Amino acid sequence: MNRKDILTKHLTEPQYRALDKDSYSSLKKFTDDRREYYKKYILKQTLADKTTSSMELGSMVDCLIFERSEFDKRYTVANVSKPSGALGKFTENVIALTANNLDSDGALSLTMDKLLDIAYENTKYDLSGEQVAFKRKGDTLDAIKERWLLGDGLAYYKQIRKAESEGKIFVEPKEIAYAENILRTVKQNPKVKEILDKVNDDRWECHVQLPIEFEYNGLEMKALLDRVIIDHKEKKVNVYDLKTSWNVEDWINQSFLTYKYYIQAVVYKEALLALQARGIIPADYTIENMQFIVCDSTSECSPEIYVVDDYTYKVFKEIGFTSKGVEYKSVDAIVDDVTIHRDSDIWIHSIRQIMTDFEPRIIDIT
């Protein structure tokens, strides 16, 4: 191969994650809840992210496809099973209570004995105070604690704590099996197979998990691109992102709008355009619109590829749109709103209040 790559991977994933810059995820968080954005990205509070099983599975599949050699660095696979039945629910409560009672150094702020006492009560009774578990005569507090400490419960809990201390994600063997099943169906779509199998040669330049730092209308941003393929013959740059879904054929209605992936479609292309503006990507190369490779979480359907056309991209970036009665701001407008809040350091007031000088809202029930 005679040519040189025009793009280089200058950051590891941990270094990228540590960058204090906005991203698709932070812009989505801002549009979902300005207060949560303020807590997480301004005050730097640790918040529990709301992830779905499909999103977690997608991250695992993403790693196995694009960076399999990194899997053991990112994941810990359980070698002890979680207890079943009420003891399993008790274990879940112990884990949840632990997460909610850690100090700034990651140490428990209450004794393990006290934590188990609370977990027992939370398992035994529901929120209304009705007993729903541990109804047998021998299911006393001391008996349950002893069974948990001497059985698989404590061993399972320790695995999770160890994984967290190492910055790893804890997964069950069955979750690995699900991910591997998805991998077996991914390349059933010949176009997806071509994208994933492409390797570097004189014509093609291929990257996975490519980090980019850039400015979007003055806002410092970052993006981590799953797959970038540069065609040096046709002078085109394509970017792809892998998703998993329980319904690949209705992904637009099921996931695209829910998770506001239109923001991601714009941010990733703008990241590449920023590299072109800096002269890193040649000016005569075309930055194509983003494509989403959507895999079936059930492994029963081949993946679909969704692409954003030029008009839709303009709508996403500059105009905004309404779907099923829900208004979605353009990405340009979202970036402007974030910039206003960051520059003014005013978070208690909404953009509407700031821009209208606190004019009352009109009640419209039509």
Domain boundaries, the chain: 13-49+180-356, 79-171
Which residues sit opposite 228 in a β-bridge? 207, 239
Kindly state the percentage of the chain with pLDDT values over 90.
70
Residues of the chain with pLDDT under 70: 1, 47-55, 366
Enter the tokens of residue 302: 């081949």
Furthest-apart CA pair in the chain: how many Å? 78
- pLDDT tens by residue, 296-337: 988 888 999 999 999 999 999 999 999 998 999 999 999 999
Residue 219 is predicted with a pLDDT of 97
Closest C-alpha to 248, from 198, 303, 204, 286: 303
In angstroms, rounded to a whole number, what is the distance separating the alpha carbons of residues 260 and 191?
25
Residue 105 is predicted with a pLDDT of 80
Residue 231 is predicted with a pLDDT of 97
In single-letter form, the type of residue at position 20 comes to D
CB 243 within 8 A of CB 260: no
Angle subtended at Cα 56 by Cα 52 and Cα 57, rounded to the nearest 5 degrees: 115
Taking the CB of residue 245, how many other CB atoms lie within 10 A of it?
24
- Specify whether domain 13-49+180-356 bears CATH 3.90.320: yes
Enter the tokens of residue 75: 């994941």
Rg (CA), the chain: 24
In angstroms, rounded to a whole number, what is the distance separating the alpha carbons of residues 51 and 182?
19
Residue 47 is predicted with a pLDDT of 63
Residue 293 is predicted with a pLDDT of 96
Residue 299 is predicted with a pLDDT of 86
Angle subtended at Cα 210 by Cα 23 and Cα 332, rounded to the nearest 5 degrees: 30
Enter the tokens of residue 71: 């899997």
Residue 40 is predicted with a pLDDT of 93
Residue 49 is predicted with a pLDDT of 58
DSSP 362: P
Residue 350 is predicted with a pLDDT of 86
How far apart are the two ends of the chain, measured CA to CA in Å? 65
